[in-house]
A and B are shown apart, each in its own frame.
Chain A
Amino acid sequence: MTMDDAIKPVVDWLREHNPTVEEIPEDLDLIENRLIDSLGFMEFILMLEDLIGRELRLDQIDVNQFRTLRSLTDHFLKE
């Protein structure tokens, strides 16, 4: 599986929840640009947990790990 394949479900989720967004550069700040906000974060976490096959301890996460596609890949989607 390539890196693009691994991140594709995340990109699909972001596009589905932000229909006006076309391209999502891998260093775009998803939080600052409001592709993910506080209300949508729970669903995003559930999607990510489903993708990686384990539950995330939210008391131990750093929000910055969720800021960009590159950071999500580095922290959650690398073998």
Chain B
Amino acid sequence: MHPRNTPPAAAAGTATADDTEFRVLLDRLSDKATADYYNPFTTFDWPPAIPTDGLWMSPELLSVHGTELFDELSPAQLRALGRWESVNFYSLNVHGIRELLIEVTRRVHTPGFELPSEFFHHFIGEENDHMWFFATFCLKYADKIYPDKSVRLPEAPRDPDVENFLVFARILIFEQIVDHYNVQLAADRRLHATIRHINRLHHQDESRHIAFGCRLVQLLWQRLLDGGLDETARLELRSYLGRYITTSMESFYNPAVYRDAGLANGFALRGRLLAHPARQAAHAKVLRKTTDFLHRIGVFDARH
């Protein structure tokens, strides 16, 4: 391996063609972030309530869509499920953002992250805003945020360059999955205007974060390859990211949500739904951009 904490794009003075191109992208994204800036605390019109006899989630995005259960549930049951699945979706955002804020804040203005640090400030500020409006939606209209069930167990520390790659790959995967939902929810005229608004604004900001994330992950991956990443380590990273993607999709199948929606045996239902071919096909659709990207840069191979 190369020296620890190799810059994702080398610091000024040792600029490469990659750095120049990365710097141009960062300047463009920072300018766009400044131009698109909004005050989240004054932007939203928070109505006193979101009617529960309307749709909170597009039926096509429900965890039961495409399965026999979707046809068996009454319109009222589907609305209830949609309400709680939307609260779960925003709760997942709150917890995912906490994790990425911790990781990005840990790296801003540290050696190796000189180039992206300016953009990190936009990123951190915007993610803080997103966390606030998602949490506000959950607490104001559902009086709860579903708790985070993930725990970081004690594990052997990784090489810092590998860890940097995985951190930003996880952030990108999380953002791309969420963005698939944001785009559909923002465009769905059946949903309440406030629901469409938060999803539209999130998508607007996330499109910049995703453009940034794709480039950074590609650079970090290239640095790992240039540093002599061996085949065993490569397979380990592929396997880890494959499992991370699977786990991320599984978090949309929350037994507590099924319980709140009045559906019995939530954990067993989760297992049945996850094994359903229609759900696997739905996941492939959600993940298409992510898996295409990871294949294109060579993280995944034909086996994934």
Docked Cα-Cα span, A77 to B148, in Å, equals 23
**Residues 233-260 of B contacting A (Cβ, < 8 Å):** 240, 243-244, 247, 250-251, 255-256
Interface flag for A38 (CB, 8 Å): yes
> Are B151 and A38 in contact, with the CB atoms below 8 A?
yes
**A interface SS class:** helix
Interface flag for B147 (CB, 8 Å): yes
Partner of B240, one of A39, A46, A49, A61: A39
> Are B270 and A38 in contact, with the CB atoms below 8 A?
no
Residue of B with least CB distance to A59: B147
A40-78 to B contact mask, C-beta < 8 Å, 1/0: 111101110110000101100101000000000000000
A42-B251, A49-B267, A50-B255 known; A63+B151 contact, CB < 8 A: yes
> Are B149 and A31 in contact, with the CB atoms below 8 A?
no
Interface flag for B154 (CB, 8 Å): yes
> Are B247 and A42 in contact, with the CB atoms below 8 A?
yes
- Across-interface contacts of B148 in A (CB, < 8 A): 58
> In which size bucket is the chain A interface?
10 to 19
Interface residues, chain A, CB within 8 Å of chain B?
31, 36-43, 45-47, 49-50, 55, 57-58, 61, 63
Interface flag for B152 (CB, 8 Å): yes
**Most chain A CB neighbours (cut-off 10 Å) among B149, B243, B270:** B149
Beyond A42-B151, A45-B151, A50-B255, 6 additional contacts (C-beta under 8 Å) are: A31-B154, A36-B153, A38-B151, A42-B149, A46-B267, A58-B147
